[in-house]
Amino acid sequence: MSNFADLDGLIWYNGELVPWQDANVHVLTHGLHYASCVFEGERVYGGEIFKLTEHSQRLVRSAELLDFEIPYSVEEIDAACRQTVEANSIVDGYVRPVAWRGSEMMGVSAQSNRINLAIAVWEWPSYFAPEERLRGIRLQISKWRRPDPATAPTDSKAAGLYMICTLSKHRAESEGYQDALMLDWRGRVAEATGANIFFSKDGVLHTPTPDCFLDGITRRTAIELAGRRGIKVVERPIMPEEMADFEECFLTGTAAEVTPVREIGPYSFQPGTICEQLIADYDAEVRRKNSAAAA
């Protein structure tokens, strides 16, 4: 069985590049017991990290929302991510910065715990041919919901909030679906377990207002790309029954990129020209800088 702990390479760990297998934490780590941990997921395309600074800014903000301060600036985090990509000679890959409270205090209170930051990178080409993507994936409607922002720091990419995603995704996978759609605490359409969602109808895109889940960097990119094509995007509350009237549906996320959806519970969609256009535009956008540099 493969194991991420057994890979080779260098991991940036509190300011130093250390051998992959030495980048460990103690079992009595606050982040592990009490979920005082935030992270990012970034993609490297042709050696460049897409929207790196936006990710580093979100990491810092995610930590602030959990009431801790990462002891590095956004510029330093950007530089550390680039250094790690370069040290591991990654061309097309994934970057995982993670920040957490250490083991100095073991209890709910963690006033004097050290804040740690590590950055791991690994190769991860984006595989799918557009035709294959256009078949679309199937989502189950999860019984788990995104919480009220009065209950949890929902704007933070906080590790603890992923408990709901793993529960949802495991149930979906065990029942033959590729992913799950989570509603929010009010019963409105929210997001998939690692991606935002869009629908189309009569040439207009509709996407839920991100008031209790991440306003994804890819989501914002897709809105911008749609705008450049003159496609109107409406951000609004969407109720599950409305899915009966939508034509196309797709997910957006750093990992998912633009992934068409063909089914969500009882609702079907037909991936078509809007999905196709946005897949192509997103692909061109993430590789834009590289082709500009090569030209």
Ligand X SMILES: Cc1ncc(COP(=O)(O)O)c(C=O)c1O
Site pattern 33..72 for ligand X (x: CB under 6 A):
--------x-------------------------------
Least separation in angstroms between residue 161's CB and ligand X is: 7
Q: From CA 1, how far away is CA 111, in angstroms rounded?
A: 39
Choosing from 51, 143, 157, 289, which is the catalytic residue?
157
Between 117 and 258, name the residue whose CB sits nearer to ligand X: 258
Least separation in angstroms between residue 5's CB and ligand X is: 22
CB atoms within 10 A of CB 116: 20
Size of the site for ligand X (CB under 6 A): 15
Strands (E), 16-114: 16-19, 37-39, 42-45, 48-49, 93-101
Q: Which of 133, 169, 188, 219 binds ligand X (CB under 6 A)?
A: 219
CA atoms within 13 A on the CB side of 29: 16
| First-residue to last-residue Cα distance in the chain | 43
Between 110 and 205, name the residue whose CB sits nearer to ligand X: 205
User: Which two tokens mark 226?
Assistant: 């749609």
Q: Which of 168, 200, 218, 259 binds ligand X (CB under 6 A)?
A: 218
Q: CB pairs under 8 A, 24+ apart, for 243-249?
A: 243/189, 243/199, 243/267, 245/201, 246/199, 246/200, 246/201, 246/206, 247/199, 247/200, 247/201, 247/202, 247/272, 248/199, 248/200, 248/272, 248/274, 248/275, 249/136, 249/197, 249/198, 249/199, 249/200
Q: Which of residues 238-267 bind ligand X (CB under 6 A)?
A: 252-254
Q: Which of residues 162-181 bind ligand X (CB under 6 A)?
A: 165
Q: Is 289 a catalytic residue?
A: no
Question: Among 1-9, 64-72, 213-221, 265-273, which window interacts with ligand X (CB under 6 A)?
Answer: 213-221
119 contacts ligand X (rule: CB under 6 A): no
Least separation in angstroms between residue 109's CB and ligand X is: 28
153 contacts ligand X (rule: CB under 6 A): no
118 contacts ligand X (rule: CB under 6 A): no
What element of type H or E holds 59?
helix 52-65
Q: From CA 34, how far away is CA 68, in angstroms rounded?
A: 14
Least separation in angstroms between residue 38's CB and ligand X is: 12
Q: What is the DSSP letter of 213?
A: S
Q: Which of residues 188-207 bind ligand X (CB under 6 A)?
A: 191, 194-196
147 contacts ligand X (rule: CB under 6 A): no
Closest CA to 276 of 226, 239, 237: 226
278 contacts ligand X (rule: CB under 6 A): no
208 contacts ligand X (rule: CB under 6 A): no
User: Which two tokens mark 114?
Assistant: 């050290």
| Residues acting as catalytic residues | 157
| Residues lying near ligand X in the complex (CB under 6 A) | 41, 165, 191, 194-196, 213-214, 216-219, 252-254
